[in-house]
Amino acid sequence: MKILINHIYYSPVGHVLEALKFSKGFFNANKSAEIHVALSSDSPHELTKACPWIKKTYVVDKFDILKNGKNSESFKQIPKKWDYVLHDLRIIWETKEMETIYREEQGMLNYYKLCQENFKVKWQGSEWSINEIPKELKYKKNSKIKLELPKEPINFIKENFHQKSPKICMMLAGSAGFAYYPSIKTWEKIINALNEKIPNLTIYITGITKSEKGRTSTQAYSEKELEYLFKKFDNVVNAYNIGLWNQIALVQNSDLFISPHTGFAFLAPCVNTPWLAISGGDWPEYFFNDVPFYSVLPDDKKYPYCGQGKWTKHLEIEHKKRIPTMSSGKIDKKIPEIVKYANILIEKKLPYKKAVSLHVKNILRKGYNIRKFGPFDDALGLDKLKAKLK
pLDDT in tens, 350-385: 999 999 999 999 999 999 988 888 888 888 888 877
Q: What is the pLDDT of residues 104-142, one digit of tens each?
A: 999 999 999 999 999 999 999 999 888 899 999 999 999
Return the CATH number of the domain spanning residue range 151-389: 3.40.50.2000
Which pLDDT band, with edges at 50, 70 and 90, does 314 fall under?
very low
Residue 308 has pLDDT above 60, yes or no: no
- Rounded Cα–Cα distance for residues 208 and 202 (Å): 20
Question: Any idea which of 164-168, 179-183, 259-263, 353-357 has the lowest mean pLDDT?
Answer: 179-183
| Region of residue 58 (left: phi > 0; alpha: psi -120 to 50; beta: else) | beta
Q: E strand or H helix at 385, and its extent? A: helix 382-389
Buried/exposed code over 36-50 (b: 16+ C-beta within 10 A; e: otherwise): bbbbbbbbbbebbeb
Q: What is the pLDDT of residues 38-69, one digit of tens each?
A: 999 999 999 999 999 999 999 999 999 999 99
Angle value at C-alpha 351, between 349 and 354, nearest 5 degrees: 105
How large is the average pLDDT for residues 334-356?
98
Domain ranges of the chain: 2-132, 151-389
Q: What is the pLDDT of residues 277-290, one digit of tens each?
A: 999 988 899 999 99
pLDDT at 326: 86
- Rounded Cα–Cα distance for residues 311 and 309 (Å): 5
Q: In what order do the strands lie in the sheet with 120-126?
A: 54-60, 34-40, 2-7, 81-87, 120-126
Question: Any idea which of 9-13, 207-211, 226-230, 335-339 has the lowest mean pLDDT?
Answer: 207-211
This prediction has a pTM of: 0.93
End-to-end CA distance of the chain: 38
